[in-house]
Chain A
Amino acid sequence: MTIFNFFKPARSAPVARDRLQILLQHERVSAGASDLIAKLREEILGVIARHVDIPADKVQVKMQRAEAVSTLEVEIELPNPVRSRSEKAA
């Protein structure tokens, strides 16, 4: 075995390349997803804030990743009583 190894050193670089390709494929998707979540959160907050007074931290967006489907969970906490901006202006 040692003699075999001496004549044919381990070719580890292909392993490195394959591991990186798999890892980065995954990491790019999740980095993209976190950007997506931030964008969604911002826009959802924008739409709601147009109609209701709402603190920025009351909109929560989460993504659950599973093999077949991923689910997006949006939780918006509205202050009580819910009062629209137009009502207040009136």
Chain B
Amino acid sequence: MSQVLVVTSGKGGVGKTTSTAAIGAALAMSGQRVAVVDFDVGLRNLDLVMGAERRVVYDLINVVQGEAKLQQALIRDKRLDTLYVLPASQTRDKDALTEEGVARVMEELRSHFDWVVCDSPAGIERGAMLAMRHADVAIVVTNPEVSSVRDSDRIIGMLDSKTLKAEKGEYMEKHLLLTRYDATRAERGQMLKVEDVLEILSIPLLGIIPESEAVLNASNVGCPVTLVDSDSAPARAYLDAARRLEGENIPMVVPSERRGGLISKLFGRRAA
């Protein structure tokens, strides 16, 4: 059965696009057919993070407006056969996304893929609403930081009232993905702890992604972190999160970097 997943947050820069790419790739690595869809019209970036920026011919708006077929706009990932990107438009007006057009494209995507992962734009405007509108399940990406937690609370309220599922009176499944987490700083009382954020937002935890250089390295080379550096701490956290999405019961841990000896451990802790 096909699932539509929205990756959303309210606040910008918390890791929606990184998480969309990493989780989309992780789901595709287990052989499932996955489309990652960029809803950030005017500021598309998912294509760049996925390394598909030079292969964009048509985009979501072209398909919504009937100027291109879905198959023409979908870009197949060069590394994974079952992973596709549907880019957003870089130039067009975001009002070009019509409610009916998006509904039609989502329906068509559902018929071709096991997972449709929608990368939401920041904010609570039209684009963010359309990205979450058709979702069966939502990932709320949050940093352990006050403004991000507040915005996530707003987004959770919207997921519970503005989605098609919510309007039908059904339960909207929501998961928290805590990104850029630093366990050492949290332990020292300098950063909100996982438990603090969970208590405030009270939605189930999907994963804890540690702050790591691997994330920037992955976007530098245009490859999801789960593919390019699958043994890194954030990649392992994303891979676990993807398995939890598929219903597996995996104990929650904050993965740490495996490399490095005693000295780097000593100094690594201090530098954190």
Contacts and interface: CB of A to CB of B under 8 A. Distances in A.
Interface of A: 9-14, 16-17, 19-21, 23-24, 27-28, 31, 35
Contact of A9 (B153, B188, B192): B188
A23 B150 contact: yes
A13 B192 CA distance: 5
A24 B161 contact: no
B1 interface: no
B191 interface: yes
Shortest beta-carbon contacts, A-B, top 4: A11-B189, A17-B196, A13-B189, A16-B146
B200 A35 contact: no
Given A13-B191, A17-B192, A31-B157, A24 B200 contact: yes
B149 A14 contact: no
A11 B200 contact: no
Contacts of B146: 16, 19-20
Interface of B: 145-146, 149-150, 153-154, 157, 161, 186, 188-193, 196, 200
Contacts of B145: 16
Most buried by B among A10, A13, A14, A21: A13
Contacts of B196: 13, 16-17
A75 B153 CA distance: 32
Contacts of A28: 153, 157
Nearest to B188: A9
B211 to A, nearest CB: 15
A11 B200 CA distance: 19
Contact of B189 (A14, A21, A23, A31): A14
B150 A24 contact: yes
Contacts of A16: 145-146, 192, 196
A20 to B, nearest CB: 5
B188 A11 contact: yes
B82 to A, nearest CB: 40
Given A12-B189, A14-B189, A35-B161, 13 more contacts: A10-B189, A11-B189, A11-B190, A13-B189, A13-B193, A16-B145, A17-B196, A20-B150, A21-B200, A23-B150, A24-B153, A28-B157, A31-B157
Contacts of A20: 146, 149-150, 200
A62 B189 CA distance: 43
A50 B186 CA distance: 59
A27 B153 contact: yes
Contacts of A19: 146
Nearest to A18: B196
